[in-house]
Chains A and B, each alone.
Chain A
């Protein structure tokens, strides 16, 4: 299908992007980053914006360590997380998860900020972000605003970002050196969204955190002793049935993903 016509703006600064979004009046203005969710949605008629604001010329990409955090620029692409040696060193959990996102061409163009702003409940990178914890850095008409990751995802394709805000970066907490991380996903094919996935962080004393994707309307976070978490996850999640799998099967997968991600994290902590 051919998308419905819209206007297109290519601002040169974040301030300009925000002022276009804020000045749109009754018109539906939307940001476009990598376009890997948005362009297919335009073609399918699932998104019908009046104005698109392209972030590609804002140079918001890049990864840097800042104190105990890692700052990921909004337009850093999945492929950088997957392949760049420095990114892999700083964010091994994101590197492992990024490998599971779509296909190589989707990863070449899709962005970290776009993945978080899009907030697909089966997406991998929001799960990784919540497992790290930290803040989303957004710019709006009132300037910069910081949103804790624990409060960012509100539901299916819904976040705390306002319609006139641009996500400019995400600052992820780095787990302590002594802890380990692990990721596990179950999907129907290599390039599909997860049926269920889990990101885990385990401390040497056995205390763990595991975040589940694909089994609720947003990433779901659990904390407790490593050995008790998989059963707790399986008891707590309330996935819905869909055309692929039953609710009961998805609940089982949640437990399996949690167990395997935690096992990998435990191994990583010991290494």
Chain B
């Protein structure tokens, strides 16, 4: 099938087989290797992207289901050489170690702050459910999300 979508503002038109997941399409056909393959089963959140401005696990969506959609990866939120404020907070607080979970954490937490679901530490932790991090123990991620919420996120 022919698939047309907007990836980080760029129009793509590519043939794709129906059984290819959006994750595999983005990584293997569209070169978006910032989207990570963790579990492939919807559990870990490493593959998080925005699909029409809603956070989804790209491994749990078929590429053909994104026909006509606007897809944004973490790269849409960082300019050339500049970082998104949440990325900056994560780095400054030591919340990035291996970094494999980070693209998913960034997108998931941007959505949580946008929806007003980062009011306190408990709600931040709840909204991080399904963003598995094997390195940091989450404490510093929660602090970074709080700082982002209190800074730019609140604007």
Contact of A39 with B59 at beta-carbon distance under 8 Å, contacts A5-B17, A56-B65, A191-B129 already known? yes
Residues of A within 8 A of B112 (CB): 104
B108 is an interface residue with CB less than 8 A from chain A: yes
A189: B residues at CB distance < 8 A: 129
Task: Give the residue of A1, A35, A191 whose beta carbon is less than 8 angstroms from that of B62.
Answer: A35
Q: Mark B6-41, 1 if CB is under 8 A from A, else 0.
A: 000000000001111100100000000000000011
Q: Which of A42, A102, A105, A191 contacts B19, CB < 8 Å?
A: A42
| B86 contacts across to A, CB distance below 8 A | none
Q: Does B42 make an interface contact (CB < 8 A)?
A: yes
Cβ of A4 and Cβ of B19 under 8 Å apart?
A: yes
Q: Which residues of A contact B54 (CB under 8 A)?
A: 108-109
Inter-chain contacts of B42 with A (CB < 8 A): 36, 39-40, 102, 105-106
Cβ-based interface call for B98 (8 A):
no
Asked if B130 and A6 make an inter-chain contact with CB atoms under 8 angstroms apart, the answer reads no
Counting chain A CB atoms within 10 Å of each CB, the highest count among B19, B20, B24, B59 belongs to B19
B41 near A102 with CB under 8 A, answer no
Instruction: Tell whether B2 is near chain A: CB-to-CB under 8 Å.
Output: no
Q: Are B61 and A6 closer than 8 Å at their CB atoms?
A: no
Q: Which of A190-236 contact B (CB under 8 A)?
A: 190-191
B18-A8 in contact (CB<8A): yes
Tell whether, in the assembled complex, residue B18 and residue A5 are in contact, meaning their CB atoms are under 8 Å apart: yes
Does B55 sit at the interface, judged by CB under 8 A? Answer: yes
CB pair A105–B57 under 8 Å, yes or no, is yes
User: Nearest CB to that of B131 among chain A residues?
Assistant: A103
How far does the Cβ of B50 sit from chain A's closest Cβ, in whole Å? 10
Residues of chain A contacted by B129 (CB below 8 angstroms)? 103-104, 189-191
Give chain A nearest CB distance to B131 CB in angstroms: 8
In the bound complex, do residue A105 and residue B62 qualify as a contact, i.e. CB atoms below 8 Å apart? Answer: no
Task: Tell whether, in the assembled complex, residue B40 and residue A8 are in contact, meaning their CB atoms are under 8 Å apart.
Answer: no
- Residues of chain A contacted by B40 (CB below 8 angstroms): 1, 40, 43
Query: How far apart are the CA atoms of A103 and B47 in the complex, in Å?
Result: 13
Given the known A-B contacts A54-B65, A105-B56, are A40 and B41 also in contact in the complex, defined by CB atoms under 8 Å?
A: yes
- Give A52's nearest chain B residue, CB to CB: B18
With A42-B19, A43-B21, A43-B41 in contact, do A36 and B55 touch (Cβ < 8 Å)? Answer: no
Interface string of A1-36 (1 = CB under 8 A from B): 111111110100000000000000000000010011
A8 to B1, Cβ gap below 8 A?
Answer: yes
Contact B130 A104 (CB under 8 A): yes
B60 interface contact, C-beta 8 A: yes
Q: Does A66 contact B (CB under 8 A)?
A: no
In the complex, chain A residues whose CB is within 8 Å of the CB of B108: 104-105
Tell me the residues in window 96-129 of chain B with beta carbons closer than 8 Å to chain A beta carbons.
Answer: 108, 111-112, 115, 117, 125-127, 129
A selection of 8 A-B contacts at a CB cut-off of 8 Å is A2-B20, A5-B19, A39-B60, A40-B59, A54-B64, A56-B65, A102-B42, A104-B130
Knowing that A35-B65, A105-B45, A105-B60 touch, tell me 6 more A-B residue pairs with CB under 8 angstroms: A6-B18, A10-B67, A105-B55, A105-B130, A106-B57, A189-B129
